Copies of this chain bind each other. A is one copy, B any other.
Amino acid sequence: MPPQISSTQKLRYFNQYRILKTLYFNEPLSRQELSRETNLSVATITNLITTWLDRGVILESGTVQSKGGRPRVMLTLNRAYGAFVGIDLGETHIRFELFDLKMNSQQSIMVWLTNGDTQPTDVVAKIVAGYRELLQTAVFPEEKVIGIGIGVPGVVEREGGISIFAPNWGWHNVSLLTKLKEAISAPIIIDNGAKAMGLAEMWFGGKPNNEHLIALLLGTGVGTAIISEGEIQRGVTNSAGEFGHTTLDINGRSCRCGGQGCIETYVGAPGIIQTLQTINPESPLLHGTSQLDIIAAIATAAEEKDETARIVLQQTANYLGAGIANLINLYNPQTIVLSGWLGNQLGPFFLELLPPLIEKYALPQPGAITHIKVSSLGDNSIAMGAASLILEDFLHGTRTSWRLSSGVVSLIPQ
């Protein structure tokens, strides 16, 4: 008789993954504790985890002392079972990161992109080469790579052709996934970098499973991940969350997206620099050659109570505060995380300046409960997020996720 593919089987499958996910974020747990957490009977736990034990995904890691009675056997994840690769594809760099099963970084490589080598073929070649190099020095052999997640600075669409608009590159309808699959056999998931980072923030950014979270990726642009009830908000065509291009001042600065007064034009690095120029065109803070230099100079000056820097930050915080208040009013989140190279540097100053602004612009009730903080994940948060795209599938048993069958990449301003 042919095997029955039915819903009671799906129930078992689903319960197996529920156990895995519970253990992942709460290990170590005994069978009894797992039973309590999942509301499944101990008998079922024993039954279902044999799969994971047999495959070596989880381990029995010793017993715990008891005062009378058989000691509990603690179950933990086998962090050596497999690895996740996270790739942060930025406009100026590619960062490769290899993580163990518990998302501890094992190996890291940074590659810089120059203006000359940003054709799709070049980038694909660099990704493949970087991936190979990453594995060469790593403790994990390639067959242990569960999957590769790639975070890109744009919108990844489910189906075909997309118009592209990137500051530096000029890609059009490029299916990164197809090209990469020719060279790499491991499963690949491509998604927006900010969305990926949001996953990392939810799972590894502090209190785990913070299910109403908004992560802001502040840099040249303003990327955003909005997580509601534990799910990244994608909308109909996976382009939801473009907070950077929401209008804050309808009569304000014009934006590269065609709109006016987008939050990006005030809070993105070029916007902040423009604010500085308006306040004092002669400011020595402007001497730096790159955005990074100038922002760093502002941060240093602010540390030393420089008046100009203070005003710049105050004015920027005003826009950021109003923008965050909009998010609070719309999403009523638990937590808002500031991240990205700019967010990491200026975040501490913003945290001081924001409270009165939130109080002014946000409604009292949701405003009072929202907690704003700076990311604790550091510079590899996007790579970790990209790897988390794979982890997500790994913990849900959804290798058939639509993102796997997609891979057409579009870069729009962010």
Indicate if the CB atoms of A238 and B11 lie closer than 8 Å: no
Closest to A266 in B: B250
CB distance from A71 to the nearest CB of B (A): 29
Q: How many copies does the complex hold?
A: 2
A318 close to B (CB within 8 Å): yes
Indicate if the CB atoms of B228 and A332 lie closer than 8 Å: no
Complex CA–CA separation, A333 to B323 (angstroms): 20
CB distance from A63 to the nearest CB of B (A): 29
Residues of B within 8 Å of A259, CB to CB, are 322, 325, 360-362
The stretch of A73-81, A177-185, A241-249 in contact with B is A241-249
Residues of B within 8 Å of A11, CB to CB, are 7-8, 11
Residues of B within 8 Å of A412, CB to CB, are 363-365
Q: Given contacts A250-B319, A325-B247, are A331 and B233 in contact (CB under 8 A)?
A: yes
Complex CA–CA separation, A362 to B319 (angstroms): 19
Q: Given contacts A247-B325, A412-B363, are A235 and B40 in contact (CB under 8 A)?
A: no
Give which listed residue, B226, B332, B365, contacts A234 with CB less than 8 A: B332
A237 close to B (CB within 8 Å): yes
A116 close to B (CB within 8 Å): no
Complex CA–CA separation, A237 to B252 (angstroms): 33
A176 close to B (CB within 8 Å): no
Closest to A235 in B: B332
Residues of B within 8 Å of A105, CB to CB, are none
A308 close to B (CB within 8 Å): no
Residues of B within 8 Å of A242, CB to CB, are 329-330, 332, 363, 366
Residues of B within 8 Å of A365, CB to CB, are 155, 157, 162-163, 237, 239, 410, 412
Considering only CB atoms and an 8 Å cut-off, how many residues of chain A contact the other chain? 62
Complex CA–CA separation, A318 to B259 (angstroms): 12
A236 close to B (CB within 8 Å): yes
Complex CA–CA separation, A212 to B240 (angstroms): 11
A64 close to B (CB within 8 Å): no
Indicate if the CB atoms of A226 and B330 lie closer than 8 Å: yes
Residues of B within 8 Å of A318, CB to CB, are 250
Among A260, A329, A364, which residue has the most Cβ atoms of chain B within 10 A? A329
CB distance from A291 to the nearest CB of B (A): 23
A351 close to B (CB within 8 Å): no
A300 close to B (CB within 8 Å): no
A110 close to B (CB within 8 Å): no
A274 close to B (CB within 8 Å): no
A32 close to B (CB within 8 Å): no
CB distance from A223 to the nearest CB of B (A): 12
Indicate if the CB atoms of A236 and B250 lie closer than 8 Å: no
Complex CA–CA separation, A237 to B7 (angstroms): 34
Residues of B within 8 Å of A333, CB to CB, are 235-236
Residues of B within 8 Å of A331, CB to CB, are 233, 235, 240
A47 close to B (CB within 8 Å): no
Complex CA–CA separation, A334 to B240 (angstroms): 11
Residues of A that sit less than 8 Å from B by CB: 6-8, 11, 15, 40-41, 155, 157, 162-163, 212, 226, 228-229, 231, 233-243, 245-252, 257-261, 318-319, 322-323, 325-326, 329-334, 360-366, 369, 410, 412
Sort A-B residue pairs by CB-CB distance and give the 10 closest, nearest first.
A235-B332, A240-B332, A242-B329, A246-B326, A247-B322, A239-B332, A239-B366, A259-B361, A249-B250, A212-B236
Given contacts A234-B332, A249-B261, A364-B412, 4 further A-B pairs with CB under 8 A are A241-B330, A247-B326, A260-B361, A330-B330
Residue pairs across A and B with Cβ atoms less than 8 A apart, 27 shown, are: A6-B41, A7-B40, A163-B364, A163-B365, A228-B233, A228-B240, A233-B331, A235-B331, A236-B333, A237-B369, A238-B332, A239-B365, A240-B330, A240-B331, A241-B332, A242-B363, A245-B363, A247-B322, A249-B261, A250-B252, A250-B261, A250-B322, A259-B360, A259-B361, A326-B326, A330-B330, A363-B412
